């Protein structure tokens, strides 16, 4: 069963194989269409990029997508996630892509289902398909991440992107540092903290995190402009970055907060490339889900 729930469960070899496959697909490598397979996308949290990107990846693989709207499902009658998934399995769905607010929601599902689960984000846990597309974007720029320095700036404490990325980047030989508000830095992640001016000037990859206004209704200590001045990628700081450094952001971007409006499409920004790469990263993930399933079936 080729679940895809966290990059921790994959060997570095497997991760690099997926990155390579994603880049091949971007260059037009042929795909084996899967028209007899059905997938359902269960998004219990808002999403544009991740949802649409999976939809597009599924389309490119010729998969059938079973429409599923969480808002009008029996989840509203109190049905558990497990029973909803078992129902979809009984109806003939071959794989499930799930985003859910509960961290680690997939633990129980993995044990009880016989179809693969692809984690599209769990609470403040993991967001492994985002990590894969981030890695793909870094490999596209540098060919590898060994010896590279990546600064992650922003709310590290609540970011599943930060958590997923830090672990895998370290395994792949990179140095990860943190920046942004100290209140939002997470000591337990085992990375060094640098002030923004220094971090930006000394990193190969500058990864900005979104200020999640929806999570910081009460405790958000900074006005938007003050945040930009102190912790954002301002036009002034942009002048200090290395000439081959690249800028990433998982989006949606708060323009003028994490990054100056004029820099979103700067030549060193890879923000829209990340979105494009996301489709190919997810195609690689979905191919893997069905490859292994097939192997298992024929055993």
Question: By the criterion CB under 8 A, which residues form the site for a copy of itself?
Answer: 38, 40, 43, 46-49, 51-53, 55-56, 59, 64-80, 83-84, 86-88, 90-93, 213-214, 251-255, 272-273, 275-276, 278-279
CB of 81 to a copy of itself, least distance (A): 11
Task: Return the number of the residue (48 or 103) whose C-beta is nearest a copy of itself.
Answer: 48
Output the smallest distance, CB 123 to a copy of itself, in A.
Answer: 16
Distance of closest approach, residue 33 Cβ to a copy of itself, in angstroms: 12
Nearer CB in complex with a copy of itself: 206/257: 257
Element (H, E) at 112: helix 106-112
Angle of CA points 186, 106, 54, to nearest 5°: 90
Query: In 3-state terms, what secondary structure has residue 67?
Result: coil
Extended beta strands in the chain, E state: 38-43, 64-66, 95-100, 117-122, 149-153, 175-179, 192-193, 205-208, 246-248
- CA separation for the pair 74, 159 (Å, rounded): 30
- CB of 72: closest distance to a copy of itself in angstroms? 5
Between residues 68 and 185, which has the closer beta carbon with respect to a copy of itself? 68
In whole angstroms, the minimum distance from the beta carbon of 191 to a copy of itself comes to: 27
**Residue 41 burial by CB count (10 A; 0-12/13-18/19+): exposed, middle or buried?**
buried
Nearest to 174 by CA among 142, 128, 201, 213: 142
Residue 79 or 102: the one with the smaller Cβ distance to a copy of itself is 79
Nearest distance, CB of residue 194 and a copy of itself, angstroms: 28
91 vs 70: CA distance, rounded Å: 17
Sheet harboring 95-100: ordered strands across?
64-66, 38-43, 95-100, 117-122
Closest residue by Cα to residue 98 from 47, 168, 135: 47
Nearer to a copy of itself, 140 or 197 (CB): 140
The tokens of 195 are what?
Answer: 């002030």
Which residue, 169 or 260, is less far from a copy of itself as judged by CB?
260
Least Cβ distance, residue 232 to a copy of itself (angstroms)? 16
**Beta carbon nearer to a copy of itself, 49 or 242:** 49
Taking each helix axis as running N to C, give the angle between helix 271-298 and helix 49-60, from 0 to 180 degrees, rounded to the nearest 10.
50
């Amino acid at each position: 069963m080729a679940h895809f729930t966290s990059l921790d469960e994959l060997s570095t070899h497997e991760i690099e194989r997926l990155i390579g496959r994603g880049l091949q697909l971007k260059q037009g490598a042929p795909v084996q269409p899967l028209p007899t397979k059905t997938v359902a996308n269960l998004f219990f949290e808002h999403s544009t990029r991740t949802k649409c990107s999976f939809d597009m990846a599924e389309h490119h693989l010729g998969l059938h997508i079973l429409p599923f709207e969480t808002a009008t499902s029996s989840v509203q009658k109190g049905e558990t996630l497990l029973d909803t998934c078992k129902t979809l399995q009984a109806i003939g769905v071959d794989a499930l892509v799930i985003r859910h607010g509960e961290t680690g929601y997939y633990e129980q599902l993995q044990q009880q289902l016989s179809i693969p689960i692809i984690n599209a984000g769990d609470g403040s846990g993991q967001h492994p398909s985002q990590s894969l597309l981030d890695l793909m974007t870094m490999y596209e720029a540098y060919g590898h991440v060994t010896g590279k320095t990546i600064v992650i700036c922003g709310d590290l404490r609540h970011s599943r992107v930060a958590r997923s990325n830090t672990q895998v980047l370290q395994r792949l030989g990179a140095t990860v540092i943190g920046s942004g508000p100290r209140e939002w830095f997470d000591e337990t992640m085992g990375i060094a903290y640098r002030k923004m001016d220094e971090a930006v000037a000394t990193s190969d990859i500058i990864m900005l995190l979104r200020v999640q206004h929806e999570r910081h209704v009460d405790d958000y200590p900074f006005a938007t402009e003050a945040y930009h001045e102190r912790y954002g990628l301002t036009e002034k700081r942009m002048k200090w970055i290395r000439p081959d450094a690249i800028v990433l952001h998982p989006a949606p971007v708060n323009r003028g907060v994490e990054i100056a409006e004029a820099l979103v499409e700067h030549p060193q920004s890879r923000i829209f490339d990340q979105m494009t790469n996301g489709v190919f990263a997810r195609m690689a993930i979905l191919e893997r889900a069905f490859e292994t399933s097939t192997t298992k079936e024929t055993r």
